[in-house]
Amino acid sequence: MHYRGGGEMIMYDLIKEGIERGHDIAFTSIRPYKNRQHSNPDVTFFADVFNFPHTLKSLGFIRRFSYRFIREMMGSAPFVHLNNAYADVCNLPHLPCSGAADRRCPHKSYRHIRQNIISRDFSVTCFGQRRLVRELFEKAALSVFLSPLHAQASYAIINLKMEDHPYFMLKPMIDSKRFTNRKIKRDIDYLFVGLIGEAKGLDAMRRQYADKNIFLIGNLAPGERLDFGHYIGFVPYEEIPVYMNRAKRFVFLPRWPEPQGRVIVEAAMCGCELVANENVGALSFDFDIRDPNNFINAGTEFWERIEGITL
């Protein structure tokens, strides 16, 4: 797997299980470039079709799927639209409106030359109102979301009613053998793991925990500064459970409607007390995320739903 973000990890697990179930899965991607397609597919998957870059340094500034190609694939077979975040409803970084979208986007301007060049969009209208964007949701045999909150925010942005379209809530896919309460001494008062930036709650953490014993693990988002807490930096994924078992409380206060927030599920499974707000998708499920039995069959449930489309 080329990337290791939360969404990419979910895709990796789903693809792995699909292959184990006997499915022949062909891939077409922009970054890294791959182009393998079945001549007569049973179903087509779309995942983060647009996924606009955040900087001019990204290859996404140069390469992307053409709208013509997307439409051709939409018509080749029944298609499933897997939404890992909001890349297919917003072409700005980290959904700056937090889901309170309007036809005229207040975060766009003709004067924002750099951002307009990056997104190749010199309009001031909401990307979610574009015809192709809406068709991805309207014509999908199934739209997949990472939580009820994620689904509600996405449909609100494109101004469609959830109940009028087939959708599926993918439960967390977490390794319960790796993320478990080891019953060890907890010497970290507060812990955050993830991209350290505005959308993930950096400003809120700065206000509330500047004078607290808080450890922050992860990469610092471009343009951000960190002037409080104990900054650990990047830590290999395999070592995260150790820190979560040392932490008394896990802090997650995102500004945007976090699609799921797998880190908070992992922290809960490791026995952390959760300090969170209403913007965490994982907490919008109607089950206890501390108990892995509630989502142990997430991948199986997903593929059974997909296989029902092809019958």
Q: Do residue 205 and residue 159 come from a single domain?
A: no
Query: What mean pLDDT is predicted for residues 35-56?
Result: 85
- Calculate the CA 275 to chain-centre distance: 20
In this prediction the pTM is: 0.93
Under 8 Å between Cβ of 248 and 188: yes
For 142, the enclosing helix (H) or strand (E) is strand 142-145
User: Residue 58: pLDDT above 80?
Assistant: no
The confidence band for 292, taking pLDDT boundaries of 50, 70 and 90, is: very high
Rounded CA-CA distance 280/264 in Å is 8
The confidence band for 4, taking pLDDT boundaries of 50, 70 and 90, is: low
Which residues make Cβ contacts (< 8 Å) with residue 210, sequence separation at least 6? Answer: 227, 228, 229
More confident site: 135 or 120: 135
Q: Do residue 76 and residue 224 come from a single domain?
A: no
Q: Do residue 236 and residue 305 come from a single domain?
A: no
Domain count, the chain: 2
75-103: per-residue pLDDT in tens?
989 999 999 999 999 999 899 999 999 99
Q: Do residue 26 and residue 121 come from a single domain?
A: yes
Query: What mean pLDDT is predicted for residues 244-271?
Result: 97
13-43: per-residue pLDDT in tens?
999 999 999 999 999 988 778 888 888 999 9
Q: Do residue 84 and residue 62 come from a single domain?
A: yes
Residue reference for tokens 């907490």: 283
The confidence band for 219, taking pLDDT boundaries of 50, 70 and 90, is: very high
* Assigned domain for 81 exists: yes
* Assigned domain for 228 exists: yes
Burial 33-67 (b: 16+ CB within 10 A, else e): eeeeeeeebebbbbbbbbbbbbeeeeebbeebeee
> Which residue, 142, 141, 173, 137, is CA-closest to 153?
137
Rounded CA-CA distance 252/232 in Å is 17
The confidence band for 105, taking pLDDT boundaries of 50, 70 and 90, is: very high
Q: Do residue 169 and residue 213 come from a single domain?
A: no
**Residue-number span of the structural domain to which 204 is assigned:** 188-294
Under 8 Å between Cβ of 116 and 61: no
User: Residue 2: pLDDT above 50?
Assistant: no
* Assigned domain for 179 exists: no
